[in-house]
Amino acid sequence: MSVKIEENAAKGNPLKNGAKNWLLEHLPEEARTQFTNAVVPHTWKKLGALEPWANLTVDHVKEIVDEVFGKGTYQVERKGPWMGLVSFYSSLIRFSPTFCPGERSRSQLPQRFRQKCFQVDSPAY
């Protein structure tokens, strides 16, 4: 008995154009800057309102996207780029010991994340 191993020709996810992870390039071009400047800060704010162990749901992300771009402008799906990118940035702020947003964004972070990233006794707070 012999086993034939064939190389998988399709690498990566076809929805992601072969990429392993969702990238900003997978969003519509007109949404990319707003994702970084508005969706990410809204994500941090939403995470701060949830229990520390809770994850963002499709409904949470849809609410954020609708708030930033207008209701129904973009469709948010469980396995789509909006969920993938928001989940990625959520995990960065929650679990990375070294990731902290830039100085410009600190006032938008919920208190528990500001404590991790900045000196809380700073006059800016």
The token pair that represents 78 in the structure block: 């469980």
Q: Is the pLDDT of residue 125 over 60?
A: no
Put simply, whether the predicted model's pTM sits higher than 0.75 gets the answer no
Higher pLDDT pick, 109 / 58: 58
Q: Is the pLDDT of residue 72 over 50?
A: yes
Give the domain ranges of the chain: 19-116
Mean pLDDT of 104-121: 50
Average pLDDT value for the chain: 75
